[in-house]
Amino acid sequence: MTAVFTPSLFDVDPEESDVGSGGAAEVSWTGAHRTQLDERSWADVVPGWLPRSDGWFSELVGTVAWNQRRRRMFTQVIVEPRLTCGWGLAEAPSPSEHLAAELVARYRVPFDRVSANFYRDGADSVAWHGDRVRFVHPAPVVAIVSLGAPRRFGLRPLAGGGTRWLTLCGGDLLVMGGRCQHEWQHTVPKEPGAGPRISVTFRHGDPGPVAARSERARDVPEWALR
């Protein structure tokens, strides 16, 4: 089965100031929609969660100390096809703390880590993966705010089955929960012609580099799947 969701941008009043340039960063949960991926995993999409987000996008492009990560694969060194930066919540660029507070109030998990990913054009991407936070949490909630150009986002079950595709536009929020990081994978594929995009991700219980591996944890508490 293949499902396509295309969140639309809300109308923007050009008189109102942008987030990131002194704007109020009010979020809107109107239009929030949960997709139950299976009985243990879910994904919420909130189109237009962060209105007037273009100012924050431009600010982040220009001010973040972007890193180019490299990964060693056997004898090869792979240059990650995107730029990244990560912070503890207190150090993350404004209005991250305010946005995290909104997410904590809604999802009741202690978001404390923020990362930004800069996809400079359609040649940048992230391959199919589950987030490393799964190594330390049986049911982590991962929230992603999309800024800038629209990009496709895929979700596929590890057990096999159809890929779900959605399109994330500037200001849209995607939240993955339940067993999504363990039993599903996600990707932002290359997309020729796509414009620049930043995703700002909020996580809790980030494992760090020396995390104890608990991926095989089978005892997922009932509360964690809601």
Ligand X SMILES: O=C(O)CCC(=O)C(=O)O
Task: Give me the residues that bind ligand X (CB under 6 A), please.
Answer: 117, 126, 131, 144, 153, 186, 188, 199, 201
Rounded CA-CA distance 2/110 in Å is 33
82 in Cβ contact with 119 (< 8 Å): yes
Closest CA to 29 of 51, 14, 12, 11: 51
**Which of residues 18 and 184 has its CB atom nearest to Fe ion in the complex?**
184
56 in Cβ contact with 18 (< 8 Å): yes
Please give the residue ranges that form the binding site for Fe ion (CB under 5 A): 131
Smallest distance from ligand X to CB 15, Å: 30
- Partner from Fe ion, ligand X, none binding residue 53, C-beta < 5-8 Å depending on class: none
Q: Which residue is nearest to ligand X (CB)?
A: 199
**Which of residues 82 and 222 has its CB atom nearest to ligand X in the complex?**
82
Smallest distance from ligand X to CB 152, Å: 10
Closest CA to 81 of 117, 115, 116, 56: 117
- Partner from Fe ion, ligand X, none binding residue 42, C-beta < 5-8 Å depending on class: none
CA neighbours closer than 13 Å in the CB half-sphere of residue 83: 13
